[in-house]
Amino acid sequence: MTWTNWVGNQTFTPAATATPRDEEEVVRLVSSAARRGQGVRVAGAGHSFTPVVQCDGLLLDMNALRGVVATDPARRRATALPATRIHDFYEPLWEAGLALRNQGDIDTQQIAGAVATGTHGSGVRHTSLSGAVRGVRLVTASGEVRDIGEDEPGLLHAAQVSVGMLGVVTQLELEVTEAYRLREDVGLRSWDDVLEHWDQLVADHRHFGMFWLPTEESGALYNLDGHGARLQDQCYVKVYDEVGADVPDDETVGHRVDRCYRIYPMVYDPNFHELEYFVALDRAPEALRAMRELMLRSLPDSIYPLEVRTVGPDEAFLSSQYGTPTVVISVSGTPGTDYWGYLRSVDALLADFDARVHWGKLHFLTRERLLALYPRAEEFIALRRELDPQGMFLNDHLRPLFE
């Protein structure tokens, strides 16, 4: 069987595939692969752009282990099986008076896949989904089932962002929040105005994000025109804030009011791939100005925007937000086009800002940079070796960084 990711830029043929029906079967499959000396990886929903699923040995499809299995409104917790899609959380949580604390641009990822790479939304008062993980149940290389909780903070912080390297996740416990409704305020604002009011925009809103559109053609992506002003002097700004029960639902595009999970998700066609780096928030305006200049200079024909978001700090060893809030900087291109030179120049520019990477999006991280940028990377590697001494959960993409 040939496996291909959602956008089609990663393809490989594993030696074998299996679809375990329950955790016991995962234990049997991992144990027999270990006896044969075969590598094991898990496929989530395939929404990563990097070769994080790639596997020469046994590829597991966890789709049979799907669903929210418990909610605890008093403790604000939700427990889910690994292949639970983000949108599978919506109704069961809402019925219990709960909601995910934050979420990203799409909701079709499996929760274990999203957590494995540090998937995030926007807003400095909120962590990524990984930062909300309070328990991880894992089948390790020895076939042991480990329940990792808050009583083992080191292991928990390693397991919060693990890119599938510690074992097969069979259950996750997330800290959630009381159900909330959002009002969106979406529209064009000038680049200069946004940069001038950057601190205020970040601090004053639950969610602040923006797309900067490098050409007039970019407007077609969002059905926007500059109303007489050049689009490249403007930003498409998205602000979401919580509203109380007194504010009625509203369907007006750009000013909707609704349950949180109806406001967050966007729809994307699989016609792009993306690089995403994270810079410490206090250097955001400087990094954004440098990126805009680079894009105007290096890739004048690209119509893809610069996407900008923020994420609050957490303690996961491989998190891009480890110990610091960050600004998130993403650039995209069309699959099949050669824009590697441009991506390398983005990498070089943001390396000067000590940027960390998104594990699911294109990047050029080396082991040297990993160790310099992620202060707990060596601890992650030590724990990984302890749990998986033969490296059966590594692949060709991860081995140079984490062996």
Ligand X SMILES: Cc1cc2nc3c(=O)[nH]c(=O)nc-3n(C[C@H](O)[C@H](O)[C@H](O)COP(=O)(O)OP(=O)(O)OC[C@H]3O[C@@H](n4cnc5c(N)ncnc54)[C@H](O)[C@@H]3O)c2cc1C
Q: Is 215:303 a contact under the CB 8 Å cutoff?
A: yes
Q: Determine the interface stretch with ligand X among 48-56, 224-232, 331-339, 382-390 (rule: CB under 6 A).
A: 48-56
Nearest distance from residue 113's CB to ligand X, in Å?
Answer: 2
Buried b / exposed e along 46-64 (16+ C-beta atoms within 10 A): bbbbbbbbbbebbbbbbbe
Report d(CA 193, CA 311) in Å as an integer: 22
Nearest distance from residue 114's CB to ligand X, in Å?
Answer: 5
Site string for ligand X, 51-80 (x = CB under 6 A): -xx--------x------------------
Report d(CA 234, CA 286) in Å as an integer: 17
Question: Whose Cβ is closer to ligand X: residue 93's or residue 398's?
Answer: 398
How many residues at the interface with ligand X, by CB under 6 A?
33
Element (H, E) at 16: strand 16-18
Using CB under 6 A, which of 27, 30, 43, 392 touches ligand X? Answer: 43
Buried b / exposed e along 286-304 (16+ C-beta atoms within 10 A): ebbebbbebbeeebeebbb
Report d(CA 103, CA 115) in Å as an integer: 11
Using CB under 6 A, which of 71, 84, 109, 140 touches ligand X? Answer: 109
Q: Which residue has the tokens 């601090």?
A: 203
Bridge partners (DSSP) of residue 356 are 278
Residue type, 180: Y
Residue type, 128: S
Residue 164 is a binding residue for ligand X (CB under 6 A): yes
Question: Whose Cβ is closer to ligand X: residue 44's or residue 325's?
Answer: 44
155: helix, coil or strand? helix
Question: Whose Cβ is closer to ligand X: residue 32's or residue 200's?
Answer: 32
DSSP 215-249: SGGGGGGGT---TTS-GGGEEEEEEEEEE-TTSPP
Report d(CA 43, CA 202) in Å as an integer: 35
Question: Whose Cβ is closer to ligand X: residue 45's or residue 132's?
Answer: 45
Using CB under 6 A, which of 18, 268, 354, 373 touches ligand X? Answer: 268
Report d(CA 172, CA 44) in Å as an integer: 14
Report d(CA 153, CA 144) in Å as an integer: 19
Using CB under 6 A, which of 80, 93, 116, 124 touches ligand X? Answer: 116
Residue 39 is a binding residue for ligand X (CB under 6 A): no
Residue 360 is a binding residue for ligand X (CB under 6 A): yes
Q: Determine the interface stretch with ligand X among 43-51, 141-149, 225-233, 277-285 (rule: CB under 6 A).
A: 43-51
Using CB under 6 A, which of 34, 40, 45, 343 touches ligand X? Answer: 45
Residue 114 is a binding residue for ligand X (CB under 6 A): yes
Using CB under 6 A, which of 42, 176, 287, 355 touches ligand X? Answer: 42
Touching ligand X, residues 221-260 (CB under 6 A): none
Total residue count of the chain as it appears in this document: 403
Residue 12 is a binding residue for ligand X (CB under 6 A): no
Touching ligand X, residues 291-350 (CB under 6 A): none
Question: Whose Cβ is closer to ligand X: residue 97's or residue 389's?
Answer: 389
Residue 117 is a binding residue for ligand X (CB under 6 A): yes
Q: Determine the interface stretch with ligand X among 106-114, 143-151, 207-215, 289-297 (rule: CB under 6 A).
A: 106-114
Sign of the alpha-carbon dihedral angle for 186, 192, 195, 198: negative
Using CB under 6 A, which of 27, 78, 155, 168 touches ligand X? Answer: 168
399: helix, coil or strand? helix
Using CB under 6 A, which of 29, 106, 174, 327 touches ligand X? Answer: 106
In 303-339, which ranges are continuous DSSP H helix? Answer: none
How is residue 37 annotated by DSSP? Answer: T
Q: Determine the interface stretch with ligand X among 16-24, 30-38, 102-110, 332-340 (rule: CB under 6 A).
A: 102-110
Using CB under 6 A, which of 38, 71, 110, 321 touches ligand X? Answer: 110
Question: Whose Cβ is closer to ligand X: residue 42's or residue 239's?
Answer: 42
Footprint of ligand X (CB under 6 A): 6-7, 41-48, 52-53, 62, 82, 104-106, 109-110, 112-114, 116-117, 119-120, 163-164, 168-169, 268, 358, 360
